[in-house]
Amino acid sequence: MAAFYSFLAVLALIVIPWLGVGMGMSALFGIALPYIAIIIFLVGFTMRIVDWAKSPVPFCIPTTGGQQKSLPWIANNPWDNPVDKKGVFMRMVLEVLCFRSLFRNTSVKLQQDGPKVGYSSEKSLWLFALIFHYCFLLIFVRHLRFFMMPVPGPVGIAEFLDSILQIGLPVMYQSDALILVGLLFLLARRVFDGKVRYITLMQDYFPLFLLLGIVLTGVWMRYVVKVDVIAVKELTMGLVTLHPHLPTTPIDASVYAHLTLVCALFIYFPFSKLMHMGGIFLSPTRVCPNMSRRAMWVNPWNDPAVKAHSYEAYEDEFREKMIEAGLPVDKEA
């Protein structure tokens, strides 16, 4: 049900601008909505991060994934069990760029004979998640050509690498195909893996369908309708230079559908699980170094009024028994 509603919502986000542009509302979908979306995204994203960053990390609670630094002759694991900022930096680099923790993933099999519990490496989620995220990044970078004049060198390089196989005309970007593969795998997991289906909510289906919608409308524009790129750039440059205007040559309605979906993503982003993008940098189990036994970690709300049951009270209760047992006491009976 959740999947169906999510699908419908995304479909609506395609149909509405498509029809709306036909009825002469291009300015709404091409100019007003992008501005609204980007403002909501920037303000929302910043507010979420600030809100998290403002809440304290009272204790140093890293999940340690390797040998601690202790005796000099024992090899420690500085990236999985960091003691300093450098180690934490490396841990986060591996986490963010290589999905280190997901790389560890295993799956469990239970055989009744014996019985035997077996663990095998399970890297498919890691692989397809990595494919999806990197393709998304590449596509994002490629799109900068629409928002920059002149187009910076790295954007050109990204495009060149992405189309290096030179398939078809216009040349096919590999990332367009790969991101579809990645997204479809992530969706298929949610639908066909019983455990994952059980925990999946609408908030999980919706972004997947939304991204699929974005990719498919993009592919449609580029490879099927072959929209007027010069006109599109006229529109987008108008937006970034704060001189918004509709292009003189009209552009295909699919561009507006694509743009609306992207706007929906930007608006949805700060209120959703997609904030994991920012949240990972604030996750105490990953960004805390394992150093609280070496140096002081301060808890801003540590309550000095909480005191241990005192030795005096303890001795008062047991003094006679202690003396009888020959244990030293501070105050004689």
Partner 1 sequence: MAKYPPPEELIKINYTTPVKSWMDTKTPFKTGNFSYPGKPDILKYLGMPNPRVWSPTDDDWQLPPDWQRIVMEKFRSLLKKYRSFKVFMDICVRCGACADKCHFFIGGGDPKNMPVLRAELLRSIYRGEFSAAAKVLGKLAGARKLEEDVIKEWFLYFYQCTECRRCSLFCPYGIDTAEITMMARELLHEVGCNINWILEPAANCNRTGNHLGIQPHAYKDMMDFLCDDIEDITGKRIRPNVNKKGCEILFITPSGDIFADPGIYTYMGYLILFEHLGLDVTWSTYASEGGNFGLFTSDKMMKKINGKMYNEAKRLGVKWILGGECGHMWRVINQYMSTMNGPADFLETPVSPITGTKFDAAAGTKMLHIAEFTADLIKNKKLNLDPSRNDNFVSTFHDSCNPARGMGLLEEPRYIMKNVCRQFYEMPENTIREQTFCCGGGAGLNNEEFTETRLRGGLPRGNAVKYVRDRHGVNNLACICAIDRATLPPLCDYWAPGVGVSGVHELVGNAIILDGEKKRTTDLRQNPLPGMEDEEE
Span 266-295, contacts to partner 1 by CB under 8 A: 271, 273, 275-276, 279-280, 282-286, 290-295
50 binds partner 1 (CB under 8 A): no
52 binds partner 1 (CB under 8 A): yes
Pick one of 77, 184, 225, 240: the residue that binds partner 1 (CB under 8 A): 77
172 binds partner 1 (CB under 8 A): no
E strand intervals along the chain: 106-111, 116-121
46 binds partner 1 (CB under 8 A): no
Q: Report the chain's C-alpha Rg in angstroms.
A: 28
65 binds partner 1 (CB under 8 A): yes
Q: What is the DSSP letter of 144?
A: G
Indicate the residue among 160 and 271 with the shorter CB distance to partner 1.
271
Contact window for partner 1 (CB under 8 A) among 15-23, 36-44, 223-231, 299-307: 299-307
Alpha helices per DSSP H over the chain: 2-22, 26-27, 33-54, 85-98, 100-103, 124-143, 153-162, 174-192, 194-199, 202-219, 229-240, 253-268, 276-279, 284-287, 311-324
Contact window for partner 1 (CB under 8 A) among 18-26, 95-103, 141-149, 255-263: 95-103
Measured from the CB of residue 128, what is the shortest distance to partner 1 in angstroms? 11
Pick one of 2, 94, 127, 148: the residue that binds partner 1 (CB under 8 A): 2
Indicate the residue among 245 and 324 with the shorter CB distance to partner 1.
324
Pick one of 310, 331, 332, 333: the residue that binds partner 1 (CB under 8 A): 310
Indicate the residue among 24 and 328 with the shorter CB distance to partner 1.
328
> Total binding residues for partner 1 by CB under 8 A?
103
Contact window for partner 1 (CB under 8 A) among 113-121, 143-151, 171-179, 227-235: 113-121
86 binds partner 1 (CB under 8 A): no
Q: Which of 225, 244, 226 is nearest to 234 (CA)?
A: 244
Three-state DSSP state, 55:
coil
- What residues contact residue 168 under an 8 Å CB cut-off, 6+ apart? 223
Measured from the CB of residue 2, what is the shortest distance to partner 1 in angstroms? 6
Indicate the residue among 41 and 223 with the shorter CB distance to partner 1.
41
117 binds partner 1 (CB under 8 A): yes
- What is the Cα 275 distance to its own chain's centre? 6
Rounded Cα gap, residues 291 and 40, in angstroms? 39
Q: How many CA atoms lie within 13 A of 215 on its CB side?
A: 24
Other residues' Cβ atoms within 10 Å of the Cβ of residue 216: 19
- Which x/- pattern, by CB under 8 A, does the window 193-232 give for partner 1? xxxxxxxxxxxx----------------------------
Other residues' Cβ atoms within 10 Å of the Cβ of residue 159: 19
298 binds partner 1 (CB under 8 A): yes
- Dihedral class, residue 168 (left if φ above 0, else alpha if ψ from -120 to 50, else beta): left
259 binds partner 1 (CB under 8 A): no
Rounded Cα gap, residues 313 and 311, in angstroms? 5
Strand partners for 120:
107
Measured from the CB of residue 166, what is the shortest distance to partner 1 in angstroms? 35
Measured from the CB of residue 72, what is the shortest distance to partner 1 in angstroms? 9
- What residues contact residue 110 under an 8 Å CB cut-off, 6+ apart? 116, 117, 118
107 binds partner 1 (CB under 8 A): yes
Rounded Cα gap, residues 1 and 248, in angstroms? 43
